[in-house]
Amino acid sequence: MSSIVSDDVGSDISVQYCCQKCKRPLDLASDFGNFRTSDLSSAVGVGSSSPTYSPTSSLDHRLQVNAYLSDIINGRAEADHPMCQECADILISTQQQLLDFQKEEIVCLESLLEQLKANTTERSGVSTNDAHTAEQMFSISQRSRQTSSLSATNSPNEDSPNPLETSSFEVDEDGLFREPLHATGDSPAEAEEGNVTTKAELHCTQEELVSLHQEFVRLQHQSRLLDKQIATNEAALLVRQAELDRITNEYNEQRLTLMQAEESLGVLDGRLNDARYQYERLRRTNVLNAAFPIWYDGHIGVINGLHLGRLASKPITWPEINGALGQCAMLVTCLAKRLSHTFKNYMIIPMGSQSKIAALPNGTPLPLYNSPGSMRLFSSASFDNALVMLLDCVGQLQARVERPPFFHLPFKILDGGRIEDRNGSVFSIKCSTTTDENWTKALKMLLMDLKYLIAATVGRPDRSTSKAQAGY
């Protein structure tokens, strides 16, 4: 919109013209000033005012402009003039899009009409008058759309006439469009026949609709029954699931108890196997061999770490020799008890390094030890007799265990305190009647016979142990 302001003296004041939509200043032609006031007023419109120009870069202003243009395009507002080139281009482009849309809609309706015509020719119950009526209705609809589009563009604020009101069709008592009798050349009988056919089709359609409605009601009833069944099954499923969880927990607890029992059983089996192994090892172990280990140190025999004998090159003290003789007395006593043998005419009294042996029934106990401080002659005779008696006891054990040719001792024990080696040489066990070397060798052979006697007792049950087990 533009405006011309005049002062009292009649001189014109220069003003700025702007677009009535976006409020932008207009770039007018150079001869625009030659127009008369009446021409401008007629072009702009009487009573319009020119707003003061303000910057148009704000977001609110742009939103207002877009909203106003949308109202113009949709026919809700009247387009004012003058307009800038940009606003005019937008308006023209929008109208062109609307026109293209209307053309596409017309094409779709024409194709639908052709399809209806084709279906009408195939169906015997529909007359050609219906197709003609549909074509006339389509023409009326097309004209009404064009009229509505033009009226919305030019004068949207005015009430547009209803195309149905201006058409030549009437609405019958069934709510269907029909053409007046004067508009067509059909006779009343033909029109009545078409109405009867249409009513018959409508009646068939209504019956089909009632049947479908009954089927729908039946399906709804079945759906409700199925919903109830599903709810019941879900409740039963929850109960079964809870029962399954409980059984699973019980199974897991029982499984854990079983695993713990199996673990305990495995531990007990291991302990039992270890006990059996220890038992077998102990059963095969010779207790006497472990309690009285016999070995040698050069030419001197050793029992339990005590040397039995003495040499000029290796003198052994008498307390150690006496201790070794005490170990021999204890070993001979244990062997006799193991073999369940009672010595004839002798009784050994093991007392360590002060052991003694006595002749039965009323013999005086003789020392199995030597006392260097006592009288040489008296002590030597008693000591030699005790050694002879000890060797005789070993000979009794030899006679008990030997089973020629399967088993015999390596050195034969003779009467009078003598012992024979493998070469047939005889050595005396008396200390006072022989040299230290021969006496030491005789004692060494005595220890070897004792070791063989220990081996002979392997596998023989202990008599005292057997009695204790029998009493238990």
pLDDT in tens, 30-73: 666 665 555 555 555 444 444 444 555 577 777 777 787 777 77
Which stretch of 105-109, 129-133, 215-219 has the lowest confidence by average pLDDT?
129-133
Confidence check: pLDDT of 314 > 80 = yes
CA distances from residue 55 to 22, 26, 251 in whole angstroms, order as listed: 10, 14, 85
Distance between CA 24 and CA 65 in Å, rounded? Answer: 11
Beta strands in 298-395 (DSSP E): 300-303, 306-308, 346-349, 356-359, 366-367
Pick the CATH number of 288-471 from 1.10.418.40, 1.20.200.10, 3.40.50.10160, 1.10.1060.10: 1.10.418.40
Which of 73-87, 126-140, 252-266, 335-349 has the highest average model confidence (pLDDT)? 252-266
Dihedral-angle region of residue 87 (phi above 0 means left; psi in -120 to 50 means alpha; beta otherwise): alpha
Which stretch of 92-96, 161-165, 218-222, 316-320 has the lowest confidence by average pLDDT?
161-165
My answer on whether omega of the bond before 51 falls inside 30° of 0, hence cis, is no
Q: Is 412 helix (H, G, I), strand (E, B) or coil?
A: strand
Confidence (pLDDT) at 246: 95
Mean pLDDT of the chain: 77
Closest CA to 106 of 66, 138, 73: 138
What's the pLDDT band for 350 if we cut at 50, 70, 90? very high
What's the pLDDT band for 131 if we cut at 50, 70, 90? very low
Distance between CA 82 and CA 25 in Å, rounded? Answer: 11
190-198: list long-range contacts, CB under 8 Å, 24+ apart: 190/127, 190/129, 191/129, 193/127, 194/127, 194/129, 194/130, 197/125, 197/126, 197/127, 198/174
Given CA atoms 159, 160, 161, 162 in this order, what sign does their dihedral have?
Answer: negative
Strand 170-171 to strand 177-178: parallel, antiparallel, or no bridges (unpaired)?
Answer: antiparallel
Q: Is 25 helix (H, G, I), strand (E, B) or coil?
A: strand
Confidence check: pLDDT of 287 > 80 = yes
Which stretch of 247-256, 295-304, 396-405 has the lowest confidence by average pLDDT?
396-405
Confidence check: pLDDT of 449 > 80 = yes
Confidence check: pLDDT of 445 > 70 = yes
Helices of type H across 155-187: 163-166
Q: Are 394 and 403 in contact (CB under 8 A)?
A: no
Confidence check: pLDDT of 327 > 90 = yes
Q: Is 241 helix (H, G, I), strand (E, B) or coil?
A: helix
Residue 44, both tokens: 């702009």
Residue 285, both tokens: 């172990």
Amino acid at position 119, single letter: N
- Overall average pLDDT of the 335-353 stretch: 92
Confidence check: pLDDT of 101 > 60 = yes
3-state helix vs strand vs coil in the chain, percent to 5: 60, 10, 30
Confidence (pLDDT) at 11: 44
Which stretch of 12-26, 101-115, 334-348 has the lowest confidence by average pLDDT?
12-26
H/E element, 5 = strand 5-6
What's the pLDDT band for 163 if we cut at 50, 70, 90? very low
Q: Are 341 and 400 in contact (CB under 8 A)?
A: yes
What's the pLDDT band for 81 if we cut at 50, 70, 90? low
Confidence (pLDDT) at 39: 55
Q: Max CA-CA distance within the chain?
A: 186
Question: Kindly report the CA angle at 332 between 331 and 333, in degrees rounded to 5?
Answer: 90
Q: Are 32 and 39 in contact (CB under 8 A)?
A: no
Confidence (pLDDT) at 51: 47
Q: Are 444 and 296 in contact (CB under 8 A)?
A: yes
H/E element, 194 = helix 188-284
- Overall average pLDDT of the 325-333 stretch: 95
Confidence check: pLDDT of 154 > 50 = no
Confidence (pLDDT) at 333: 95
Distance between CA 227 and CA 216 in Å, rounded? Answer: 16
Strand 306-308 to strand 300-303: parallel, antiparallel, or no bridges (unpaired)?
Answer: antiparallel
Give per-residue pLDDT as tens, 218-265.
999 999 999 999 999 999 999 999 999 999 999 999 999 999 999 999
- Overall average pLDDT of the 389-408 stretch: 89
- Overall average pLDDT of the 347-362 stretch: 91
How many Cα atoms within 13 Å fall on the side-chain side of residue 199? 10
Confidence check: pLDDT of 443 > 90 = yes
More confident residue, 71 or 215: 215
Domain with CATH 1.10.418.40 in the chain: 288-471
Whether the full predicted model's pTM is greater than 0.75, yes or no, is no
Confidence check: pLDDT of 145 > 70 = no
Question: Kindly report the CA angle at 198 between 183 and 169, in degrees rounded to 5?
Answer: 25
Closest CA to 168 of 184, 190, 191: 184
Confidence (pLDDT) at 115: 85
- Overall average pLDDT of the 355-368 stretch: 90
Distance between CA 292 and CA 331 in Å, rounded? Answer: 7
The percentage of residues in the chain with a pLDDT greater than 70, rounded to a whole number, is 69
Distance between CA 186 and CA 443 in Å, rounded? Answer: 162
Amino acid at position 327, single letter: Q
Closest CA to 348 of 337, 102, 13, 259: 337
More confident residue, 4 or 288: 288
Distance between CA 119 and CA 117 in Å, rounded? Answer: 5
Confidence (pLDDT) at 15: 59
More confident residue, 373 or 165: 373
How many Cα atoms within 13 Å fall on the side-chain side of residue 420? 10
- Overall average pLDDT of the 271-284 stretch: 92
Beta strands in 386-432 (DSSP E): 412-414, 418-420, 426-428
Distance between CA 38 and CA 28 in Å, rounded? Answer: 18
Closest CA to 293 of 454, 460, 135: 454
More confident residue, 137 or 321: 321
Please name the residues in contact with 187: beta carbons below 8 A apart, sequence gap of 6 or more. Answer: none
What's the pLDDT band for 269 if we cut at 50, 70, 90? very high
